[in-house]
Amino acid sequence: MHISLSFSPGLSIAKVVVMLKSISASVIFDQYPEIKKELKLWRSDFWEKGYFVRTVGDEVRVEVIRKYIEYHKHEEVSAKQLNLF
């Protein structure tokens, strides 16, 4: 998932990510209750624990980030599992 957003500098990035994950999981479970039942998940278990954040500044412009997101919007959506052995 790729998201471009801005928020108050008074909020930490970690807090914003927690809010995004929590609210989006609640919305998904409300709209698709079979997911929660089938996977036997709690709201906090839906998303992976980690995340990557890139801030926009002098070196990286918002236009570059938006182009990246737009480019990857049309990528294959199914995850591929690598075989280790």
**Tens digit of each residue's pLDDT (9 = 90 or more) over 15-35:** 999 999 889 888 888 888 887
Question: If you ran DSSP here, which 8-state letter would residue 30 be given?
Answer: H
In angstroms, the first-to-last Cα distance of the chain is 29
Give the domain ranges of the chain: 13-72
Query: Does residue 6 have a pLDDT over 80?
Result: yes
Q: What is the pTM of this model?
A: 0.62
What band does 42 get if pLDDT is binned at 50, 70 and 90?
low
Beta strands, E only, 4-65? none
**Tens digit of each residue's pLDDT (9 = 90 or more) over 49-76:** 888 888 777 777 888 888 887 887 766 5
